[in-house]
Every structure is written in structure tokens, then in C-alpha cells.
Structure 1
Amino acid sequence: MDLRISIVVPVHGVEALLPECLDSLLAQGGAELELIAVDDASPDGCAAILDAYAERDERLRVVHLAENRGLGGARKAGLERATGDYVWFVDGDDRLMDGAVEAVAQRLAQVRPDVLVTDFVRGYPDGRVEPNTWRRQIADPPPEVFTLADRPQLLNMIMSVWNKVVRREYLLTLGVEFGDGYYEDISVTYPLLLAAERISYLDRPCYYYRREREGAITHSSSPKHLDAFGQYDRIFDFIDARAGGTPPGLRRRVFDRTVLHGVTVYRTPGLVPGGLRREFFDRLTGHFRDHRPDDYSFPGGVRGLQYRCVARGARGAFHRMDDVNRLRRLPRGAAARGRRAVRGLLGLARRGVYRAFLRLPMNENLAVYAAYWYRGYACSPAAVYEKARELAPSVRGVWVVADKAAGAALPDGVDCVVANTLPYLRVMATAKYLVNNVNFPHTMTKRPGSVHVQTQHGTPLKHMGLDLKGRPSAGDMDFERLLEHVGRWDYLVTPNPHTTTAFTGAYPGRYEVLETGYPRNDRLAAATAQDRETARAALGVREGSQVLLWAPTHRDGATPSRRSEELTELARELGDAYTLLVRHHYLEAGAEIPPVDRGARILDVSGHPSVEELCLAADLLVTDYSSLMFDFAVLDDRPIALYVPDWERYRRERGVYFDLLAAPPGVVATTVPELAHAISSGRTGEAEATRLRQAFRERFCPHDDGRASERVVRRVFPVA
């Protein structure tokens, strides 16, 4: 391929992470590479590491700066020495994903853009890896080449330089350069996008962005956060110098983004030092005054109120508004008493407003969707929503989310309301259709004529509902309240005859059972080999690694104390040819993931928004009593192993609907060495294990053919 890419790596104080970065670069193929690492007078051992790598690989050239010039200065020094057709700035504490350069080079050769924007993932110190939630800002699929005017929502994505591969001659003739101090790259990235005649977007994670690293600017208190205003000035100097070359709409968007960035930095605890906070706010007010477009109008909601305070320099009002917004999150003592008082008053007010909305006519073309107590877009409700958009377009779907952060993570084009707001109360009171995988709050009554669809969220092994009566797991469960909720259901979605029998006994009611298969499993039933590779790439799985999804269930407060030790032992037994995706139950959020000095790589995916994507990425499921085994069985080519050291205690205390060990979905192990041997020896894929899995699949996945969502939608909604 006749294309040369220069990768510039600024390096300062990242000794522990630098080898991983360099290894990821030197392992790339698919294009001629020029690697330029700039030692920005690093105080640790980075210089020696760079020199040692350069001795082993002639593609790496090292530049040692005599004095520290910051990220911007180091990037400028690297750019001055670059000779490639394109330049890619990669930070020394991050890394490229496997195959990134080859994928980038192919796109560059195809369309020769001025700027190629790539997708990325975020990695955290605890091992979590999260996909880029901003990717939905771009229309799917985007055109191969576009301008910022064509896709202005690109400005809502992260404005760092590291996920942008730039035509070098275009960058050099643009007349911009990286600023000094913090936020140095935004004075380049905004102009790059504003002036580009050819932008392309590669919808593939190519960059691993390390978040919350100790010492990173987004994690450190420093006066340098005030450097942002100098970078903002450079952006608007560029816009003003273009003599009408920037459409007014783009100028407004850029202005709004810079104000939002300034407000976010100011509000984030621990960034702006206390003695400089007044100066920072005053500088933000000055920025608003100096660069506000003539046709600018304030946004709505809380953000609009914040911006108005900034525009007036009303720092006290800004803080009072913030205090009210944060009161609910304060912990104990007087603050907690104040929080309870405010919550009580707000609850009374909300109930009054809700009752008033109930007097409005029912909206026959409105459906409300929710999942997992408003945590986000997930599970069968999401699958039903997507199919309803296709088959019943006259019915508008609205999602309920717990807060604005959850709303921001929704797919592009999905409408939402935040719980306990006026829009939420209105849609809950007036919607014809309500779809959830758990129960809506008890205060949301069943309106005559409304249609409630309960999808549930798993095939039951353990006892549920009324079957928990008399068991310790029931705790103080209000069974009368449970029956009131069940009385609101019009439809109960089940995946198989077993679940129909179990749920109709555990949740007795007058609803209609839709034994359709689980809508959420349509994604698995239709999965392709490419889906597997895409899911693995998004998680940052090393090429060639065997991937195990470790997903134990919750133990009702009796989680074995050895779980962390068992995980460590399994990782060591399996070795570095394996990757363990650890998915804790949501009731055990924050459970410790142990460090492993040798053995399999461990990735904490407990916070990943889609368990279906995790299943697609995995070669093997290891679980105990989780309902995930029934979903994973839809993937008929992938083994399941059960690790059940406490089966007798669990079945005795929790109660189960059938003897799992009499008809398991695969290999059964009661010790970690036994489990590890079964996996590494290939016994999980042998004929007997395959026979068990096929029998299990026939019993519990008879309807999972990829059309469960369609069957639900056609029965419940007015299909066009």
C-alpha cells in the first residue's frame, strides 16, 4: 500500500505504561510506519525505555528534548520531523488496538480524507473497558466522506487529537498549532474539523484511551486548568480569520461546546484549586461575553440556567442552584434531614401533578419503555422498542432513565425522559403502552385502557415471586404489593414452556402469556462471526486470545468469601492465552477484581451496558446459577461450564425449579483446578459436553429464532 503514516508519541512521566504503548505500535501492520517518540524531558525512566526500543526496531526514532515543553510542545517537535502522508498523535500512556493501523490505512487509501476520525474505547485503572458512548452522535452508517456542516453532531464527540488521523500537508497549511499547557489539542482539533473538506469516520475501535490515570489532567488539581481559556481564544481567532468561511450554525455549536467544557471543569470536584475558582468563573464569564454569537439563544433546562448565571457573572446564584441539585446526594446529618424534607415535599408535589396528568386524554400512539429500574437502554424492552419502530411506526416510543447521564448514553435518536421530572409524569400518566422488564413504581397506577407488557429478564432456575414465601431470600418482601403489581400486567413474555410454568405459578394473574422466546436474544440468534469480532475489538481483547465470560449470580448476602481468590486462581491456572471477562451481578456492583501478576488477563465488564455483546465476544461461559446460561445457550456453537462448589447449599436455601446438575448445559466442576483443566484440555467442547448443551438448548431455547421481538410487537401494537 503506497501510504506512509507517521505516528507521533509525546512521552512524559509514563514509565509504567510506555512499554505497552510501544508494543501496540510496533505490532501494527498494513502500512509503512514512521514512529517518532518525543521524550519531553521525562523525569523517570522513559528515556532509557525509548532508547532500548529504538535499538531493537529501526522504525522508531527518538527525540530527546532538553527541557519540558508539555504535550503541545512535544507534539510540535514530533510533527516537525514527520514525513508521512498522514500523522497520528498517540499519547504515551494509551495504546492502539490490534489491527488499528491496517484498518486506518485501508480507509485512508480508499477516500484520502483530510481528517479520519476513529472510534475508541475507554480503559480504567480497575480493568474496566467501556465503549465510546459518543459514537452514536454520528449517523449510522455515516457516508464515507462528509464535512462538518454535513455532520455537525461530530462536535459533540470528544475533541482530543488522538482519535484523529490527519493528512500532514493539510495540517501544516492550516496555520494552527498546539497550545501550551492544559487542553492543548483543542486549539488544533476544532480548526481541523471546521476547515476540512473531506472528513471520514471509521466505526471501529482503534484507540485505547486510558481514563482516571493518576497524574492525568482530568484527574488532577492544578492552576493549569485556566489554560483552557487561551485555547478557546485560539479557536475563535481561527474562526474569525476565516472571513465568513464558518457557517453561523457551526460557530454557535463550537461556542456552546466551549462553554459546556468550562462549566464541566469548574463543577468537577478537585480540578480547579480553591483559591482560583473565582478567577476561573470570571474568565468563563469573559469568554461568554467575548465570543457569544449574535444569534445565540440559551439552551433549555438546568444547562440553560447555568449558562445564564455564567453570562451574568452570577457565581453565587450558580452555586445556589448547584447546591439544590446536589442536595439529594448529600450523606448524613443535617444535610440528610434536609434531603429527606425536600424529597418528601417533592414527592407530594409529584403525586399531585401526576394525578392531574391522569385527567388528560390517553395518548393512543405513545409507548413508555424502561429496564432494570431505569438504569438504561437494555434487555428485551430495547429489542421490542427497536422492532416496534419498524413495524408500528405510528407509536412513538419514549424511554425512562434515572438521570441525564443515563439519557446521554442512549442510542442516537432514542427519546427519553428523566425519572421524577414533569415530562416523566406526563408520559407515565398518558401512555397507552408501558413495557418494562421489572415493575414500574407502585405510585404509577394502572390506567383503564393502558397496556402493560412485562418482559422479565431471565429464565428462572431459582425460586421467584410467591415461591419465595417462607425462604430467607424473601426477607421482608411484600407479597401483597407484588400481587398488586402483577394485577397491572396485560402481557407476560416468556421464552420457553419451563418459564411459563414457573412464572404463572410465582406471579399468578389474569394476564396473557406470550411464549415467544426472549426478544433480547434475537441479537444472539442472528449473530455472525463478524459480530463476534466486532464485540471483541470493542472490549480490547487481544487477537488470538481465548475469551471466557465469568458470570456468577448473586447469593442473597451469602456470597462466598473465596470468590476473589477463585478468580485469581483460575486466571493463573489458565495462563496468558486466555482473557477473563468478569461480569458481577448488578447487586454486587463495585465488587473487587483482584490483580493478577501472571496468567490470564482479567477485564471487569460489570458496568458494560450490553450483556448480549459480552456473550458475542466470549468463546465460553463460566457461571454457576445465573440465568445468563439460558441466553448463552442460544449461541449453539459455544460451550458452557458450570462452577458449582455450593450447589446443595444453594438449592436448599434459595430453592430451585429443577435439578441443574441432572441436566447441565455442559461440563460441571466443583473446584478451580477441575474447572481450569476442563477448559484448557478442551473437555468443554467434547462430544458429551456438546450433547448436554444441545439437549439444554432444545429444552430452554425452542423459540429463539431471531423473531421473538416481532411476535411480541405483532400481538401488542397496531402493526402497519
Structure 2
Amino acid sequence: MPRFSVIVPAYQVQAYLSECLESVLAQHYPDFEVIAVNDHSPDASGEIIDEFAARDPRVTAVHLPRNMGLGPARNAAMARASGDYLLFLDGDDTFAPGALQAIADRLRHTGDPDVLVYDYDRTYWTGEVRRNALSHHLGQAGPPVFTIDDRPELLRLLMIACNKAYRREYIARLGLTFPSGFYEDTPWTYPTLLAAESIAVLDQVCLHYRQRRRGNILSTTSRRHFDIFDQYDRVFAFLDERPQLARWRPVLFERMIDHLGTVYNSPGRLPRSARAEFFRRCRAQYRRYRPAAQRAGAGGHPSRRSALRYLLTRLGAGRTYRLLWRVDRLRRSARSPAQAAYRKLRAGLLQVHYRLQSHRRIDPGLAVFAAYWNRGYSCNPAAIEAAVRELAPHIRTAWITTPEFAHTLPEGVRRLHPGSAAYWTALARAKYLVNNVNFTHRLAKRPGQIHLQTHHGTPLKHMGLDLRDYPAAAAGTDFTRLMAHADRWDYVLSANRHSTLVWERAYPAAYTTLAYGYPRNDALYRATADDVLRVRDRLGIATGTTALLYAPTHRDYRRGPFPLLDIERLARALGPEFALLVRSHYFYQQPLTTASADDAAVVVDVSGHPSIEELCLAADGLLTDYSSVMFDYANLDRPIVIHAGDWEAYRAARGTYFDITAEPPGVVARDEDALIEAFTSGAWRGPRAAALRAAFRARFCTYDDGHAAERVVRRLFLEEPQTPAEGVGLPPVLPLAERTPAPSPADCQGGTQRGAQRSSDGGQPVSGRTPGAGCGTSAPLPSARSCVPAAWSAAAPTRSPRPST
């Protein structure tokens, strides 16, 4: 018995059928059968099906004696299906690469629900691809399995059968088949969702839904569009047979009226002579199925527009209905140009302002900073900005961010609103421009301005020009513009030789590489035992508890936070002596976790904590997949565990510079069972893990030693010589063997306070510096704490952990 029965009906799709079937047979997940049905097609569709069946035993060819339509063709395939789940794929559509594996994984994680809803995109003949506009309804936060009562918004998705996996036993128990006629998906999809005792969602595009230039059945002008009335009769008959579902009548009534209105107003569907008759049928349907207490949605009231639409339908005023629809369409189309004109005028005026400001002299005392597309004060630019205020107080600093992140700015740092006049003035006149991504493409860097690109991680995944062979990950990147941005860079920071080589190949430009380390990692060497304990206390981590930071990265082939790891299961396996600090990627807004049980590890969502460095200091170990945080955390010389459950898919979608599973910083687990075994057996912090970590640190922690920010400020802002002399100059990079990272939580709690880095010959401060001090007579370098803005110190977890027993 295969896991999936993929049902492919075919009628006049010879131009697309081979691509459709290839998209199934090329899936890496092998456990499926394909039942391809030739619906007596007059073209070569039948021959193509036979060729595939002869080539691959997983393909079963079915030939119908006469053309019966899409619904009966699917029924003929279902009668022969033997898989656990039924998947439908029309002959002109395709599965996305990795779709079956993703569906299988999600079904396994959710305990084989009755229905799994996955996402799709529309692929147009022009080459344009648009993701489902309602894909936000497929978010995987909350309970993994539910009923339609918990997620009624799913009924607003396009009612097609091809974006779902149906448990075959459930469909057989329901006794459901597809009807004949147009809109055959309607009396199939609504009943399967309403009656399901368990539903799950997968927030990933698995289906490419082709929008053909010609040949789309629903785009043909025909009286067969009247079939929609019979299809909704079947939906309401299904409800009549199941009184327990009667509460859904108002919702389906609203969906029906919306659907009938769409057909009536869509140009080219109904013959002109049939319009009046169609609207009379709409009026009859309205009167027949209108619920006693009419409402829109589950428990709501109709909007003003919906109420007017209902009234006109009830009165049978078809011409007025269509006239108002046209007026509304014109109003919306007129509003967009007016808004666009205003935006264009404002942008033009601001550009004139920017050009005028560009003719003024450059301000040598102004530095402008930004990070992560203006998401607030963080990363390497934040550490450099703090060091500028300490070491070069004559330079004024300004930070680009929105009001949402204004609270992250330290006191005294000016905020620049993106796109404002002050923003453009600062970009035009500041001598120093510092960012870990790129500034706006409208920035025209002037001679005399210094642009520092800090980057925001050691690259494991492909970057820059190396993405040209990975179009899915490149996501329409304009590589010409990208290189124009790189041409603006004067300096680029690097934390290790690997990064230096990657940056120079991926961003070939005339910048100078500064092999100084990452300033954001200074805190990992400068923090004291008190700092570590203070962070853990704010996070609510009890004394004696082993804290693990779980920080997965995002996936280019998926959207939104998705459970690559069953966090609750891991928490139960670890037990209450552990605490899991769970941090979702900054691209996402939703947490990855919920509260844990009393016999499990404490689970705290720290996605909203603004300092990843503080979280690293607080954690006894790191659990990640392919996030660049592993390269930073390795500086602490604490255990790292790699969960590489989808390594092949990740590497195929994005491309990587080396195999992290072959050269890891610690134990590698390819599935959850192996991951749990690594922790419960103690292997995660055993001698083998330590040896792997040592090799990893030697390769990737080359330049980080606690003085990266100081080196940057002295070289670029103070223009001191690269070689220290007479109390000035850049501190040399300390060899790895002579560095001492911040003390581990276990050392802090045991009374050991290693403090800041020491040399290996007597424990004296390196280069004559005391912890937190600068070189010679210059102002003192900020400590790890002063590098962290006050807002970070006030940060708290979004959920208080369970009190320690």
C-alpha cells in the first residue's frame, strides 16, 4: 500500500501533461502511485499516459470509453486507488520540487489527519508567478491538528481539491464522490472540511496552479456555468443530512452568494442572453437557502457592501447589481492612480531635496547606521556605534529605523525615519555610512563618504552572485543592482578567512576587506560572570538549570515559521532540569512554541528579545540547523548541536559553501530520534563533540577576540595606524589559544569568574589593556554591558517560565 495515490485526470492537456507527470515522478519521496485517467481526450493525452505507464510501474493508465468530465474521471481513479492519502493533480498543473516529502513530513508530525491543506501559487503564461493571496490563513502557529470550528477562515480559501491531501479511509467513510458538471470541486471541498475530525495545514507551496491563456474551462462562454446552482444544492443537501453541521449554513450561504456574484460579474462566462435568467436563479437560491439569522462568517454581521449585495439579490435587481459592481470597480481603479500619483510626487520632491543636500559639504562629524532593513539597533552596526560614542565622542551618530523599533535605540542616538527629509539629508551629508545590509538603491555615494558593509554572519548558504544558479532562493534578485550596491562599499568586515574568500567572489568590487572580526561578538569575550548571571536571571532561568538556545534559520523554499522540530516532544525528553530558549528567525513574527508541561523542560519564547548575543551568553548550549549563529556561538567554546533533518532540500534550494554535516561544530542529528538520543546520552557535550568544536573554532573564529569594534573605530573613525605605536593604533588579533571567552553559566554558578580575556603567560590583560579599556590614553572601550542598549537590559521573555521547584 503506497502512502499517496496521486490522481491525474487528463483532457486536451497534451501540451502540459508530460511536465505534470514528470513533476510527480521526479519527487525524491518515492512512496506513491500515479493513476492517470484519459478522459477520452481527442488529442495525444492518452498516448502520453501510456508512455509514462510503460516507463514507470508506479503509473497506472486508465482510459474512459467516453468523455465524462473532470469529476467522473477523478472518481474512476479513486476506485482504483490504494494509497493512504488521495492527492489530486490536474493534467496541466505540477507539483513543486520536494512537495511530496513536505506533505509526508507534515502528515507524520500531525498524526495523519483527515485532511491536510497545503499552499499553491498561480503560474501565468506570461511567466508571472503569484502565491495564493490568502496564504496567511495557512500559518502553522497554534495547535497542529484542529477542526474547522477552530480555523473557519479556511473556508475562505479557493475551493479547489488539488491543494489538499485526503485520508482515503476518511473519504470512503464519508461516501463522497465528485459530481459531474462545472464547479465540481465545490460539493467536494466544503463537505470534506466541514465533516473532518482532524485538519492540519502546511504553509508551503506544493502546487503550481497553471493559469492558461486559453483552454481554461471556467473562462469559456457557456450555459454550463448554470451547473453552479446544482453544486450548491449538493452542499446544502450534505448539511441537511447532518444536523450537527447546521451551524455552518450561514457561512456557506455567504460563500454561495459571493460565488454566484463572481460568476455573474465575470466577463465572458455567461452568454449575454442568459444573464437575466442566471440572476433569477441567484434570487431563487437566495430565498431557498437564506438562514433564519443571516450573518456573515462565524458569528459576525454582513458588511455594508455585503448587505447591499444581499438586498439586490433578494430583490432580483440584476442590472443594478451589475451597475454597482462596475461603479465599485471604477472607484477602486481610480483610487489607486491618485494614491500612486501622490507617492510619486512626494518621492520626486524628496529626491530633489536629496540632490540639493548632496551639493553641500560632507559633515565629517556625522555617522549614519542601520541594520537588518531598518529593524532597529542590533548586530555589528550597533556594536560599532556604541564604540564610536566611547572612543570617538566628537562624532555624532544617527540610526535609521521606524517607530516600531525606536525603543531599541540607546539614549542620545538620533533616530532617522526611513524616507523622511532628515533621512535624505543625513545620507547626503554624513561622512560615515554603516550597514549590515544595503542602503536604498537611490543612495549615490559621494567622494569623501566612507561606506562600511559589516555583513551579518559567516556564510554557509550561497550569497551574492553565487545565487545565480538558485533562482528560487534568488527570488528575482536584480544582480546588476546588487553589484552596483557593492561598488559603493569602501570596506567590508570579515570574521574569518572563509568569509573573506566568499565575499570577494560573491561580491566582486573594489572594496578593502577588514579582517577584524565581528564587533557584535565582542560581548562574547568581554562579558563577566555577573553579566551572564544577570541575563539568565532576567530570562527566568533557575540556578542549576541547563539552558539550550534553539535558533533555526529560515527556508527559501518555505514561507513563515514551520515546525521542523517537535519542540514539545524535545522538552519532554529533556525533562525539567533543562530550559529551552526558542528563537524564531527575524523574518517571522510568530513564535515557534507553546508552554511546556510540568514534567518537561521549561520552554521560553525569546523571539522578541532584541539581543542574540545576550541569549548566547545565557545558554549552556546551542541547538540550530543551518543558522549563522553557530559561527558566533562557537566563540564561547560551548556545545553546539546541528539538527539537519532537511539538509538535502536546504542545500538544493539555496546552495551551500560546504557540507555542515561533514564538518560540523558538534553532534549532527538527522532526525528527532537521533537528536533526543544525543541529549539524553550526553553525547552533545562529550569528547567527540568537543573535538569537532575545536576544529570548527580554529577555522571560523579566526579574528574574533573581543576587540573588533575597537579596531574598526580606530582604523576608520580615528584614522590611527594599523600597527600599535606609542599608545595609538589597532590592537592585533589575539591568537585563538590565548583567548578566554566569557565564562559559561556552569562556571559562573560554581564561583569561577574568568572575566575578560587574559594572556596565557601569567594572566595579565592583553596588550596592556584592562577588561573594557581602550588603548593608551584614549577613551575606554565599552564593556559588554555598555555595548548593549538599555532597552535590551529591560527585555523580558514573552512568557514567564514555570517557577523552579
TM-score interval, normalised by the smaller of the two chains: 0.5 to 0.7
Task: Find out whether 1:692 has 2:472 as its counterpart.
Answer: no
Residue 530 of structure 1: how far off its partner (Å): 11
The correspondence for 2:312, drawn from 305, 309, 312, is 309
SS at match of 2:264: helix
Match of 1:167 in 2: 167
SS at match of 1:38: strand
Q: How far, CA to CA, are the matches of 1:186 and 1:531 in structure 2? A: 43
SS at match of 2:260: helix
Alpha-carbon RMSD across the aligned residues, in angstroms, is: 5.0
Task: Give the alignment of 1:245-644 within 5 angstroms.
Answer: 245-246=244-245, 248=247, 250-297=248-295, 299-328=302-331, 454-456=417-419, 492-493=422-423, 499=428, 501=430, 547-548=467-468, 578=469, 617=475, 622-623=479-480, 626=481, 629=483
- 2:102 maps to amino acid: A
Q: Is the 8 A contact 1:187 1:232 kept in 2?
A: yes
How many matched pairs? 450
Give a deviation string over 1:118-169, Cα, whole Å, max 9, x none: 1112111011112222111244424221100011011111110001110111
Give a deviation string over 1:542-580, Cα, whole Å, max 9, x none: xxx9853xxxxxxxxxxxxxxxxxxxxxxxxxxxxx466
SS at match of 1:112: coil
Give a deviation string over 1:376-416, Cα, whole Å, max 9, x none: xxxxx9x999989xxxxxxxxxxxxxxxxxxxxxxxxxxxx
- 2:313 maps to amino acid: V
Task: Give the alignment of 1:7-406 within 5 angstroms.
Answer: 7-110=6-109, 111-243=111-243, 245-246=244-245, 248=247, 250-297=248-295, 299-328=302-331
Match of 1:670 in 2: none
Residue 196 of structure 1: how far off its partner (Å): 0.3
SS at match of 1:66: coil
- 2:254 maps to amino acid: D
Relative to structure 1, the CA distance from residue 180 to residue 615 in structure 2 (aligned partners, 3 Å threshold; closer, same or farther) is closer
- 1:215 maps to amino acid: G
Q: How far, CA to CA, are the matches of 2:70 and 2:346 in structure 1? A: 41
Relative to structure 1, the CA distance from residue 691 to residue 61 in structure 2 (aligned partners, 3 Å threshold; closer, same or farther) is closer
Match of 1:589 in 2: none
Q: How far, CA to CA, are the matches of 1:531 and 1:137 in structure 2? A: 29
Q: How far, CA to CA, are the matches of 2:308 and 2:267 in structure 1? A: 20
Q: Is the 8 A contact 1:11 1:39 kept in 2?
A: yes
Q: How far, CA to CA, are the matches of 1:530 and 1:177 in structure 2? A: 49
Query: Between the two proteins, what is the percent identity of the paired residues?
Result: 35
Give a deviation string over 1:300-326, Cα, whole Å, max 9, x none: 132332222112211132133234324
Relative to structure 1, the CA distance from residue 3 to residue 56 in structure 2 (aligned partners, 3 Å threshold; closer, same or farther) is closer
Q: Is the 8 A contact 2:221 2:269 kept in 1?
A: yes
Q: How far, CA to CA, are the matches of 2:282 and 2:42 in structure 1? A: 34
Larger radius of gyration: 2
Residue 189 of structure 1: how far off its partner (Å): 0.7
Q: How far, CA to CA, are the matches of 1:156 and 1:532 in structure 2? A: 38
Relative to structure 1, the CA distance from residue 173 to residue 315 in structure 2 (aligned partners, 3 Å threshold; closer, same or farther) is same
- 2:58 maps to amino acid: R
Q: Is the 8 A contact 1:219 1:271 kept in 2?
A: yes
SS at match of 2:269: coil
Q: How far, CA to CA, are the matches of 1:89 and 1:516 in structure 2? A: 45
Q: Is the 8 A contact 1:28 1:98 kept in 2?
A: yes
Relative to structure 1, the CA distance from residue 373 to residue 77 in structure 2 (aligned partners, 3 Å threshold; closer, same or farther) is farther
Relative to structure 1, the CA distance from residue 519 to residue 76 in structure 2 (aligned partners, 3 Å threshold; closer, same or farther) is farther
Give a deviation string over 1:418-441, Cα, whole Å, max 9, x none: xxxxxxxxxxxxxxx9989xxxxx
SS at match of 2:14: coil
- 1:192 maps to amino acid: T
- 1:221 maps to amino acid: T
Q: Is the 8 A contact 1:86 1:167 kept in 2?
A: yes
Q: How far, CA to CA, are the matches of 1:531 and 1:305 in structure 2? A: 54
Q: How far, CA to CA, are the matches of 1:246 and 1:529 in structure 2? A: 53
Match of 1:354 in 2: none
TM-score by length of 2: 0.48
Q: How far, CA to CA, are the matches of 1:291 and 1:374 in structure 2? A: 51
- 1:692 maps to amino acid: A
Give a deviation string over 1:497-522, Cα, whole Å, max 9, x none: 7555499xxxxxxxxx999987999x
SS at match of 2:302: coil
Residue 265 of structure 1: how far off its partner (Å): 1.6
Give a deviation string over 1:38-62, Cα, whole Å, max 9, x none: 0001111111111111111111011
Relative to structure 1, the CA distance from residue 228 to residue 622 in structure 2 (aligned partners, 3 Å threshold; closer, same or farther) is same
Residue 531 of structure 1: how far off its partner (Å): 9.8
SS at match of 2:102: helix
Q: How far, CA to CA, are the matches of 1:322 and 1:714 in structure 2? A: 54
Relative to structure 1, the CA distance from residue 710 to residue 384 in structure 2 (aligned partners, 3 Å threshold; closer, same or farther) is farther
Residue 662 of structure 1: how far off its partner (Å): 11
SS at match of 1:692: coil
Q: How far, CA to CA, are the matches of 1:697 and 1:125 in structure 2? A: 47
Relative to structure 1, the CA distance from residue 525 to residue 47 in structure 2 (aligned partners, 3 Å threshold; closer, same or farther) is farther
Residue 207 of structure 1: how far off its partner (Å): 0.9
Residue 83 of structure 1: how far off its partner (Å): 1.0
Q: Is the 8 A contact 2:159 2:186 kept in 1?
A: yes
SS at match of 1:133: coil
Q: How far, CA to CA, are the matches of 2:182 and 2:152 in structure 1? A: 25
Q: How far, CA to CA, are the matches of 1:190 and 1:529 in structure 2? A: 46
SS at match of 1:35: strand
Q: How far, CA to CA, are the matches of 1:147 and 1:372 in structure 2? A: 47
Q: How far, CA to CA, are the matches of 1:371 and 1:142 in structure 2? A: 38
Give a deviation string over 1:281-306, Cα, whole Å, max 9, x none: 11111111111121113621323322
- 1:622 maps to amino acid: F
Give a deviation string over 1:55-93, Cα, whole Å, max 9, x none: 111110110111111110100110011111111111000
Relative to structure 1, the CA distance from residue 106 to residue 198 in structure 2 (aligned partners, 3 Å threshold; closer, same or farther) is same
Q: How far, CA to CA, are the matches of 1:291 and 1:41 in structure 2? A: 37
Q: How far, CA to CA, are the matches of 1:531 and 1:228 in structure 2? A: 49
Q: How far, CA to CA, are the matches of 2:58 and 2:272 in structure 1? A: 46
Q: How far, CA to CA, are the matches of 2:190 and 2:457 in structure 1? A: 38
Unaligned stretches of 5+ residues in structure 2: 296-300, 348-369, 378-400, 405-414, 442-453, 493-500, 521-584, 588-608, 612-788, 797-805
Unaligned stretches of 5+ residues in structure 1: 331-338, 351-369, 376-380, 389-432, 437-451, 457-488, 504-512, 534-544, 549-577, 581-613, 634-639, 641-659, 666-683
Relative to structure 1, the CA distance from residue 140 to residue 200 in structure 2 (aligned partners, 3 Å threshold; closer, same or farther) is closer
Q: How far, CA to CA, are the matches of 1:75 and 1:372 in structure 2? A: 51
Residue 177 of structure 1: how far off its partner (Å): 1.8
Match of 2:667 in 1: none
Residue 3 of structure 1: how far off its partner (Å): 5.2
Q: How far, CA to CA, are the matches of 1:531 and 1:220 in structure 2? A: 47
Q: Is the 8 A contact 2:40 2:67 kept in 1?
A: yes
Q: How far, CA to CA, are the matches of 1:114 and 1:217 in structure 2? A: 30
Q: Is the 8 A contact 1:3 1:31 kept in 2?
A: no
Match of 1:409 in 2: none
Relative to structure 1, the CA distance from residue 315 to residue 497 in structure 2 (aligned partners, 3 Å threshold; closer, same or farther) is closer
TM-score by length of 1: 0.53
